[in-house]
Amino acid sequence: MTQVDIQPAAWLENAQQLKTAGFTRCEWLTASHNGGDSFTVTLCLAKADLSERTLFSSTVDTSVESLISVYPNVAFHEREVAQMFGLRFSGHETSELAFETEFDGFPLRRDFALTSRVNTDWPGAVEPDANATRRPALPPGIFPEWQS
């Protein structure tokens, strides 16, 4: 599998070149949030017989060109990334949800706080009683019958 990092300005052009080179299958498109307004968008393309695959990715700000004109089936993936990360795809209206959720915000961003985590005490947050003692335990591999 080939991996290529490209400049954001070459995102659409690179997809068109790869399709011309025989990479006719768009397998998936995803993103990762690098913090702030920085995202890495990754696209996996394959030849029709799956004999060869390529990944190409680009680090972008909050917007990247849509690939719908090259790979129409990428529409769902772009809507999903828009819904989960808040990334915009120019040339594609992504306001239609990829799926129903009850989230306010973008749950796959690093700055998104899960409500259940915020409202639940962390297990190590409560200190045990200072006077409590633990039952003595033998070190691992030492059997009680070895004690004299």
Domain hosting 39: range is: 2-119
Note whether residue 38 is domain-resident. yes
DSSP helix/strand/coil, 40? strand
Residue 38's beta-bridge partner residues?
Answer: 35
Looking up residue 87, the CATH number of its domain turns out to be: 3.30.460.80
DSSP helix/strand/coil, 141? coil
Note whether residue 81 is domain-resident. yes
Note whether residue 127 is domain-resident. no
List the single range of 66-75, 93-102, 132-141 with lowest mean pLDDT. 93-102
Owner of token pair 């799926």 = 99
User: In angstroms, how far apart are the furthest CA atoms of the chain?
Assistant: 80
- Cβ(97)–Cβ(84) below 8 Å: no
pLDDT at 147: 79
Note whether residue 134 is domain-resident. no
Q: Which of 121, 56, 105, 62 is nearest to 87 (CA)?
A: 62
Does the pLDDT of residue 38 top 70, yes or no? yes
Alpha-carbon distance of 112 to 83, in angstroms, equals 13
pLDDT in tens, 85-120: 999 999 877 777 777 777 788 888 998 877 766 677
Note whether residue 68 is domain-resident. yes
Note whether residue 136 is domain-resident. no
Note whether residue 47 is domain-resident. yes
- How many domains does the chain fold into? 1
Note whether residue 78 is domain-resident. yes
- Which letter does DSSP use for residue 144 in this model? G
Alpha-carbon distance of 53 to 26, in angstroms, equals 10
DSSP string, 48-70: TTSS-EEEEEEEESSEEE--TTT
pLDDT at 23: 98
List the single range of 10-14, 80-84, 133-137 with lowest mean pLDDT. 133-137
CB atoms within 10 A of CB 33: 19
Does the pLDDT of residue 37 top 80, yes or no? yes
